[in-house]
Structure 1
Amino acid sequence: MKKILALILFVFSLSGETNAQFSDDIASKKITINGLNKLYNLEYREAERILKPVLQKYEEHPVSFLIKATLLQYEFAPIEQNVTHFKEYISNLEKCIKLAKEQYDAGKYKTDATFYLLAAHGNISRAYHYNKDYLKAGLEAKRAYSYLKEGYGLAKENSEFYFTNGLYKYYRVQYPETHPSIKPIIFFFTDGNKMQGLADLRQASKSSLFSRMEASFFLAGICLKYESLTKEAVSILRVLHEKYPNNPDFLLKYIEALLIGGELELSSQKLKKLEVFKGGDYEVATFVFRGEISFLKRDFNKASISFKKAVSLKKEGAETSDLKSMALCRLGEISLGLGENKNAKEYFKQCLDIAEYSRIIKKAELELKRL
């Protein structure tokens, strides 16, 4: 989900207390949707061409700087590791904050401004987090949280808020479960509710106009990672992949869901397309998925070779740790089958050091107890 964490899409469908200069501009909003659809499909030049009239018309408006930042985030991913464009990315988000804060302080377009500020601060926080600059990330997250709270009760007024609300409600509970060390800090945050978070995300994926895609992708990821709702995830990801066939993030998660569901033939077909993409997540995923296919076909020797290659790759990406935890768990199972209990124990321990998937954690913990 590394390139989809941006909250930019919320700002385009505000109603009520909105800035007539953009929010009531139906033509510009349609252009923006078309441009972003091209961007999601990695058609960068076409996206820029389509979005150019909007950027020119609103060149001193917060939305233009959010769009510019998002264009950079997609084309030069991972933006945090791109020395040339990372500064430009942060600069665009800071300009968005400056203009949005002026609106916010004036109180004239406060609902609009709240979204711009939430999106910009949230993206800066995410970027610094990936660069392991945790102090700056924490400061930006704190600023984003204040605006998140302001929009917490606005979902009935505007369906776009179901996405932010759903993410917060779900991860407010899930994140400290996966990362216990954060509990003393997160204790002071507003309570969450997993079931309500899922309900809000499902509502956003159906009724939101601009955040529908992001809500769907996050929902599918949660279904796979924490909730074991494989059929729902497959259904969601099939639609995303068919609509944006060039997007490797959607393809990666779709193949993962297919494999969990045991659909070997289709996953094997889709894997051929994933293999052409370069980057940490895609290269590691290729070996993990090859290994999983071999494992499910009970070719354990071939599976072991692929899993070991996945683990040995010195690649970094948002999905890398999760993917390697899957490989390590399978290597533990293979070692158990060979009677190599010492190796199995080590693989399961390594797996648990990085695993966040509920099913992977349960499997590794269960096998370690048996050893």
Structure 2
Amino acid sequence: MLGLSFSGRAQVLTDPVAQQTILKTLDDIYNLEFANAEVQIRQLQTQFPQHPIGPILRATELELQYLPLHENKAATAQFIQSVEQGLSLAKKMLDKDADDPEAVFFALTAHSYLASLYNNKSESLKAVGESKKAYNYLREGMVLIGKNPDFYFTTGLYNYYIERYPMDHSIVKPFMLFFEDGDMALGLKQMDIAAKKGIFMRPAANYYLAHILLKHEMSPGRAVVYAKYLADKYPRNPLFGMINAEALLLAGRYAEARPYVQRLKQMPNKLVPMAVNTFTGMLAEYADKDDKEAAEAYELALRQPFNDPYTKEYHAFAYAGLARIAARANDRNRARMNYKKALAVGQYKALIREAKAYK
């Protein structure tokens, strides 16, 4: 047992051997190969018992293993326990050295994981509480950005959203005085660095960049770069499979999208079937010019429930598809009705623009 009995900073992420084990573990987690990941997590916990890396990796594993985690009570309890264990170890490291980059990073990650979980569970007060705690570590991470490439992700995400969020939610503008200003263009550049050089956050940086480019920037062609990297590297991951199919379809690359949609059909995760029906509708509508088949697929998608954090937008896509089909059939009332329904659930800028433009 090596442990971490030596004095000074306990930097696991910069240790070349440990770093390779961590990257391999994360690759296994994100490709849903949990038996392999479990062996490596145990190895890291044995080797570094006083470091948060083991518990935080286990929390990451639980989130992917039981996706969507917030719908599984037992797994959620295990997840919270792992995150709190990681947070406790990070705080012990901070007691010894308040500027320890890894301790700051894992404390930030722990609070962010909890904030995300509570947000997905619609427990707003708890989510806000965790976000406030995360913000303190996030600001420290901005100063330590040169010490850990993963801080490029957290800093970039902050720089982007602190400017973007008030644009989309004007009600919060008065409260933004309490936060440091951001810079959206810089935020995208910083996340791109994390997408290429990050250790712990590389998959997340690619995923968030793809999502931002699709939802806010109306740049599906740019999103494909990040989404396709994830779908090809982690072919068993349903979230990465869905965002890649979506990006290719929105970019008009239908022939490339088709095999990825086929691959999604084989995935057992419960988030997938509704997404597959929406994507099948988009292929029928755009690539095959078959409005009848497209309408059937869209209607099938709308008979299936969406999962708010992950697949809500695909209902909006389906309503917009039905609206376009109705408009081509000169049924203006039906088109308007479906666009109205799309606006009620949709958040993508391009979709909102399309729906509002229809008179």
Q: What is the aligned residue count?
A: 352
Partner of 1:221: 211
User: Which amino acid letter does the alignment assign opposite residue 140 of structure 1?
Assistant: E
Kindly state the Cα deviation for residue 236 of structure 1 after the two structures are TM-superposed.
Answer: 2.5
Partner of 2:236: 246
User: Which amino acid letter does the alignment assign opposite residue 75 of structure 1?
Assistant: Q
Rounded to whole Å, the distance in 2 between the matches of 1:311 and 1:23 is 45
1:330 and 2:321 correspond: yes
User: Which amino acid letter does the alignment assign opposite residue 263 of structure 1?
Assistant: R
Kindly state the Cα deviation for residue 87 of structure 1 after the two structures are TM-superposed.
Answer: 0.9
Rounded to whole Å, the distance in 2 between the matches of 1:64 and 1:181 is 40
Q: 1:271 aligns with which of 261, 266, 270?
A: 261
1:152 and 2:152 correspond: no
Q: State the secondary structure of the residue aligned to 2:235.
A: coil
Listed as ranges, the matches of 1:191-202 within 5 Å are 191-202=181-192
Kindly state the Cα deviation for residue 148 of structure 1 after the two structures are TM-superposed.
Answer: 0.7
* Farther off after superposition, 227-236 or 100-109: 100-109
Partner of 2:4: none
Kindly state the Cα deviation for residue 157 of structure 1 after the two structures are TM-superposed.
Answer: 4.2
What is the percent sequence identity of the aligned residues? 30
Q: 2:289 aligns with which of 275, 288, 298?
A: 298
Partner of 2:52: 62
Q: 1:179 to 1:279 in 2, by over 3 A?
A: farther
Kindly state the Cα deviation for residue 109 of structure 1 after the two structures are TM-superposed.
Answer: 5.5
1:262 and 2:255 correspond: no
Deviations 1:289-329 (A, max 9, x none): 01001111221121111112212212325232111111111
Q: State the secondary structure of the residue aligned to 2:307.
A: coil
Q: State the secondary structure of the residue aligned to 2:103.
A: helix
Rounded to whole Å, the distance in 2 between the matches of 1:219 and 1:50 is 28
Partner of 2:340: 349
Partner of 2:300: 309
CA contact (8 A) 2:274 2:305 kept: no
CA contact (8 A) 2:327 2:335 kept: yes
Q: 1:357 to 1:280 in 2, by over 3 A?
A: farther
Listed as ranges, the matches of 1:93-132 within 5 Å are 93-107=83-97, 110-132=100-122
TM-score by length of 1: 0.88
Rounded to whole Å, the distance in 2 between the matches of 1:336 and 1:157 is 55
Kindly state the Cα deviation for residue 235 of structure 1 after the two structures are TM-superposed.
Answer: 2.5
Query: Mind listing any 5+ residue stretches in structure 1 that lack a counterpart?
Result: 1-16
1:189 and 2:179 correspond: yes
1:34 and 2:42 correspond: no
CA contact (8 A) 1:280 1:317 kept: no
Kindly state the Cα deviation for residue 35 of structure 1 after the two structures are TM-superposed.
Answer: 1.4
Partner of 2:352: 361
Rounded to whole Å, the distance in 1 between the matches of 2:101 and 2:133 is 16
Rounded to whole Å, the distance in 1 between the matches of 2:107 and 2:137 is 7
